Structure 1
Amino acid sequence: MSNGCPICAKPVSPDFRPFCSKRCADVDLHRWLSGTYVIPGLDDDPPADDGEGDE
């Protein structure tokens, strides 16, 4: 794992770990809240079988 801030690569500050400053922590938070970071997921569930047809 890197010893630098994941936003700007400056040395990490113990007060804002894993970031170097409050600014970089806020940039990261904004990226999560605005949808820049996306965790891939599955599409909607397939439609349920209603028991009709194909008999």
Structure 2
Amino acid sequence: MRQLGPLLRLSLRGLLVRRTRSLLTALSVGVATAGLTVFLSLGAGLRQAVGAASCS
């Protein structure tokens, strides 16, 4: 547990030095998560719509 301090300092320094890179990485993770959520929701909705159309 004692070696966590230097590692945390090194990580924070890396984030602060490369702000643009860190921001773009966080943005790409957010966009990918949102895209995956949209596609999964779309697939579930289409499956439900096709199931309802075939029953009627």
TM-score normalised to structure 2 length:
0.30
Taking structure 1 as the reference length, the TM-score comes to 0.31
More helix by share: 2
Larger relative contact order (C-alpha < 8 A, sep ≥ 6)?
1
